[in-house]
Amino acid sequence: MQAELLLEQWQTQGWLRPLDQAFASFIARYQPAEPLVWLAAALCSYQLKQGHVCLDLAKLQAEPLLTLGLAAELAPSEQAELQQQFTAINLAQWHAALSQSAVVDSGTGTNPLVLAGNRLYLRRYWQYEQDIALQVNQRLAQHEVLTAQLSASMLLPLLGQLFKTGGAQPDWQQLACALACRSAFTVITGGPGTGKTTTVVRLLALLQLLQLSRGEPLLDIRLAAPTGKAAARLKDSISGAISRLAALNIVGFSQIEQAIPSNVSTLHRLLGVRPGSKSLRFNRYQPLPLDILVLDEASMVDVEMMAALLQALPVTARIILLGDKDQLSSVEAGALLAELCNKASTGDYLPATAAWLAEQTGQHIPAELVNTEGSLLSQHIVMLRHSHRFGQDSGIGQLAAMVNKGQLNPTIWQDYPTELLLLKEAATLSAAFAQLILAGSNVVNGFGYQHYLSVVTAAPVEPELQDRWAQDVLRAYSCFQVLATTRKGEWGVEQLNLQIQHILAKAGLIAPVHQWFSGRPVMVSRNDYQLGLMNGDIGICLPKLLPQADGSLVSTLRVAFAVADGIKWVIPARLNAVETVFAMTVHKSQGSEFSHTVLAVAAQDNGLLNRELLYTAITRASARFSLICAEPRQLVKVVQRQTIRAGGLLLALAD
């Protein structure tokens, strides 16, 4: 195999990036006599684009097409050729070339590549993983000290105040609260509607009540999320959970209510990212001033950001991660929540943990979730298992559960006609597609874009009412959203946005004569620190009344964004990195919830749709989910296609 020719060939074919080849050329200058090292370097760089932290050499040798994610991207003849090229190199040859290379070490030096077992890393990503493991291990080590601070049955009366209603055991929300009280590192995972926010608010109240019972100062708590959308949604959820908690008449609640924040920051704002720089205001030398950090939507956080976040925490601070382990992983490299929660479904609790929980909560963990050889990490992870949003009779819940198990019963669409719609359409020009966009197919909970646009037309004539009106518009917009798996193609985001805009204009709901028009929804695609807007923030272009010097009012277009303290109005010309979002990718929808969600799937399977993507799209819907798919039979294969990202975090964590 001539590595240099292969690299040129692969770049010409379009699946290897120029960046990957440039990195291989850089390595070749230091290792001119070892083409296998150049090849490994290029593939290691390429895997980052696929979201992998490293290149798994054993998997590459055994299943090259699957490992590189090229099964659907290359023609059959190209697939066969690539398969042959890689199977010709055995694992021993890879190890021999890399272990003797001057540009590779085992982590002890400063070389650009690190070989750890069968995993080859770019050094920067190996270091991120090591930093995360070090910080997590330090917090896991505090387990015994924190447990010793809780005397026998100390939590039982406090939990009795926080959880007034009875029910079938085990109550996983109570168990999560108890476990987190003796942990400096806690993960609470669960699907939509399982009560992650409710649980964490009660946990924060419990920790503050413990402080009061010991006569100690209340804890300084901060809430964070990866994106502006996720932060806004968590803020609403936290406020609602605090209100429900207030109704329980808990002794001392008036004191602790003020110490449970409702404001939520994005991670960039929390860490103090400096515009135009990768330097952070808060880091290992200048830690964040807090006692507890709650991070929502943790599945969206990549290894680089998580490493920075953990290093910026004081050694004594607790961190609580919330998220759905089955959702899509971060856009950038890493699948941290999925890795951390790899045993969450099976519990993996030690008998001692189960006994302690029974004593402190009166709740009993099922025997099948107890393991005499459970890992230390598993004692700090709780999976909430009961959905309050999707009951046993919920079509959305049933569909999401099926997809998660890699199964799909085609009759489910007929079984739940008011919640689920399957539209077999091959083109966006159909009347059925237009009807769906306008009115959600005229069904209960259907919605459509004419719903929010009708609120847009109800603009108040009093300037002081415009903020409330803008909030109503944004709230109405969140009732319906079209999602896509890709940006290109007829069912990609770009084409869908054009077609939907055409449908709405033809119906007289918008007048897109210019780029900016009333009712245009936009998403920020790059952090703008001057405006205080983050990647993922959504705004809507609206006519705003502005007072003139003579006392008159002039209507001019502004873009309204929901922010922590109300509405931010921005001049369109100042928004340099935004895109229309009548349709958005499933990745961009993470951290959001819509009453009616529509997923558009291309007729030809492009390999981009997988179990995690489909599950994430389905669970963005709270009342109705519609699927546009010309060939529904392809979904049987899609739900069996599970993405597992390569990484070694679990191997670096304490047993």
Known binding positions for ATP: 190-197
Q: What is the DSSP secondary-structure string of 146-189?
A: HHHTS-TTSSHHHHHHH-----SSP-HHHHHHHHHHT-SEEEEE
Helix axes 493-506, 449-456, angle to 10 degrees: 60
Q: Please, are residues 66 and 79 in contact by the beta-carbon 8 Å criterion?
A: no
Start-end of H helices in 53-110: 57-62, 64-68, 76-87, 91-99
Q: How far apart are CA 371 and CA 178, in angstroms?
A: 19
Q: How do 553-563 and 538-547 pair as beta strands?
A: antiparallel
Q: Please, are residues 378 and 398 in contact by the beta-carbon 8 Å criterion?
A: no
User: Which one, of 526, 64, 133, 194, lies nearest residue 334 by Cα?
Assistant: 133
Residue ranges of the annotated binding site are 190-197
Token pair 């199964």 in the structure block, residue: 407
Q: How far apart are CA 230 and CA 300, in angstroms?
A: 10
| Strand-pair partners of 543 | 557
Torsion-angle region of 14 (φ positive above 0: left; ψ -120 to 50: alpha; else: beta)? left
Q: What is the DSSP secondary-structure string of 193-210?
A: TS-HHHHHHHHHHHHHHH
| Strand-pair partners of 346 | none
Token pair 């387990």 in the structure block, residue: 143
Instruction: Give buried/exposed letters for 81-94 (b at 16+ CB in 10 A, else e).
Output: ebeeebeebeeeeb
Amino acid identity, residue 305? M
